């Protein structure tokens, strides 16, 4: 059990459906396009001091910088000891765009033409390190690389640093920019991508995920400190958990056993019972095995139909290591706005799945209550966050 309460005082988002938290949430409640979900209206130069600095950051780092700046602007003046402030930014593939581009440079122009900035740009910890240097924060600057659970794990790990007393403030989230020819070919050849170009979580006709990109960053603070400085508390990170399926490199454990264990541990960490949960932001990738395993896991933990469920990947696509951070942001914003976005793209819920109270069609008004956000990644990584309204 945690010893200090951890609250969210800022949210920043860069997503295909909107740059900025408000635009992001509006996009979650709108009709998504077909095909890959890329961020088309992002100007990195607007978020760096000069064009050279922007060019020396991979796109995934650029996204994190923009999201963090928005989150900090909302949080207000922190006036915190920099040695007690840290960064924790998850990613699945890090600076893969830089890596692929520089491999091409070597093949076409020779090894001596490879950029000396290749390594610091491609490093998976580049976003966390960049943020720590940008703000002079001298506490932990770390990252998680746990495939599609990385964003969720980063928020959970950062919250523990605050709860334990090691840090007072953390920038936590995930960032991903995976659109390279090789990455797309790899996912396509393993038949993970949707052949229709439509993300349909839990739908009878789901046929794979639609790739996405983006970033979300939360400002996490110790609750009493946030209240003392007059900050607006948006939500509280009440608990989290991480488990492994130990089953298969890509397929989930049969019956969602690892997911069940993860959700149960997260509830215990939060001091809540399954009956307390009123909303689940599902991992819901629109792949056959993962959606089936998650639906079964939800039924085992909460019964059927259980809490209100949505998957925002119908709009955002699957942003890999940033997915969990985007979904944590979606849960916080759902609490702030009193609305749960629908599971876009889903028309007919698969009748072979356990019954779910899935939000489809239109957004659903709700009275915010304890919620969980799930992430499950290749390699058998499971992550769950428990988020509760401010109190």
- 317: in domain: yes
How far is 184 from 96, CA to CA, in rounded Å?
A: 12
| Interval 13-22 mean pLDDT | 97
Three-class SS of residue 386? strand
Q: State residue 281's pLDDT score.
A: 98
> Is 318 among the residues known to form the active site?
yes
Measured CA distances, 94 to 97, 322, 327, 341 (Å)? 8, 10, 19, 29
- 39: in domain: yes
Residues of the domain holding 83:
6-388
Q: State residue 222's pLDDT score.
A: 98
Mean pLDDT over each residue of the chain, to the nearest integer: 96
> Is 381 among the residues known to form the active site?
no
Q: State residue 230's pLDDT score.
A: 97
pLDDT at 325 over 60: yes
How far is 120 from 52, CA to CA, in rounded Å?
A: 15
What digits encode the pLDDT tens for the residues 138-197?
Answer: 999 999 999 999 999 999 999 999 999 999 999 999 999 999 999 999 999 999 999 999
Q: State residue 330's pLDDT score.
A: 98
Please identify which of the residues 47, 261, 279, 283 carries the catalytic annotation: 283
Q: Taking a C-beta distance cutoff of 8 angstroms, is the pair 158, 170 a contact?
A: yes
Q: How many domains does the chain have?
A: 1
- 1: in domain: no
- 252: in domain: yes
- 105: in domain: yes
Share of the chain above pLDDT 70, in %: 99
What digits encode the pLDDT tens for the residues 67-81?
Answer: 999 999 999 999 999
- Say what the alpha-carbon torsion angle 130, 7, 140, 383 is, to the nearest 10 degrees: -90
Please identify which of the residues 153, 261, 318, 381 carries the catalytic annotation: 318
- 22: in domain: yes
What is the CATH classification number for the domain harbouring 308? Answer: 3.40.47.10
User: Between 3 and 372, where is the model more confident?
Assistant: 372
- 115: in domain: yes
- 234: in domain: yes
pLDDT at 2 over 80: no
How far is 165 from 86, CA to CA, in rounded Å?
A: 12
Three-class SS of residue 266? helix
Please identify which of the residues 148, 167, 261, 262 carries the catalytic annotation: 148
Q: State residue 35's pLDDT score.
A: 78
| Interval 122-127 mean pLDDT | 98
Give the single-character DSSP code of 210: -
Radius of gyration of the chain from Cα atoms?
A: 19
Q: What is the pTM of this model?
A: 0.97
Q: State residue 3's pLDDT score.
A: 82
Q: State residue 1's pLDDT score.
A: 42
pLDDT at 88 over 80: yes
């Amino acid at each position: 059990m945690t010893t200090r309460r951890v609250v969210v005082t800022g949210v920043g988002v860069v997503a295909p459906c909107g740059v900025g938290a408000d635009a992001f949430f509006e996009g979650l409640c709108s009709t998504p396009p077909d095909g890959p979900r890329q961020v088309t209206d992002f100007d990195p130069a607007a978020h760096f001091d000069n064009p050279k600095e922007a060019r020396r950051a991979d796109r995934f780092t650029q996204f994190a910088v923009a999201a963090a700046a928005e989150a900090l602007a909302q949080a207000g003046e922190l006036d915190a000891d920099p040695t007690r402030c840290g960064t924790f930014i998850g990613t699945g593939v890090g600076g893969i765009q830089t890596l692929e581009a520089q491999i091409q440079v070597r093949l076409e122009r020779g090894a001596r033409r490879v950029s000396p900035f290749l390594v610091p740009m491609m490093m998976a910890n580049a976003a966390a390190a960049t943020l720590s240097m940008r703000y002079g924060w001298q506490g932990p600057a770390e990252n998680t690389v746990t495939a599609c659970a990385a964003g969720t794990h980063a928020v959970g790990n950062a919250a523990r640093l605050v709860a334990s007393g090691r840090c007072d403030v953390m920038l936590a989230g995930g960032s991903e920019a995976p659109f390279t020819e090789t990455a797309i070919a790899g996912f396509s050849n393993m038949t993970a991508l949707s052949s229709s170009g439509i993300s349909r979580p839990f739908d009878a006709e789901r046929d794979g995920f639609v790739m996405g990109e983006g970033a979300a960053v939360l400002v996490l603070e110790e609750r009493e400190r946030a209240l003392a400085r007059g900050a607006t508390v948006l939500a509280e990170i009440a608990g989290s958990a991480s488990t492994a399926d130990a089953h298969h490199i890509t397929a989930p454990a049969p019956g969602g056993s690892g997911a069940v264990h993860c959700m149960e541990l997260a509830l215990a960490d939060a001091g809540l019972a399954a009956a307390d949960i009123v909303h689940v932001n599902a991992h819901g990738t629109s792949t056959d095995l993962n959606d089936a395993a998650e639906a079964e896991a939800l039924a085992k933990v909460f019964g059927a139909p259980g809490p209100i469920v949505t998957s925002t990947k119908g709009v955002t696509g699957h942003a890999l290591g940033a997915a969990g951070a985007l979904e944590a942001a979606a849960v916080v914003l759902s609490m702030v706005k009193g609305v749960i976005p629908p599971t876009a793209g889903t028309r007919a819920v698969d009748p072979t799945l356990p019954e779910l109270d899935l939000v489809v069609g239109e957004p659903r008004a709700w009275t915010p209550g304890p919620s969980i956000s799930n992430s499950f990644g290749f390699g058998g990584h499971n992550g769950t966050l428990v988020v509760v309204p401010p109190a």
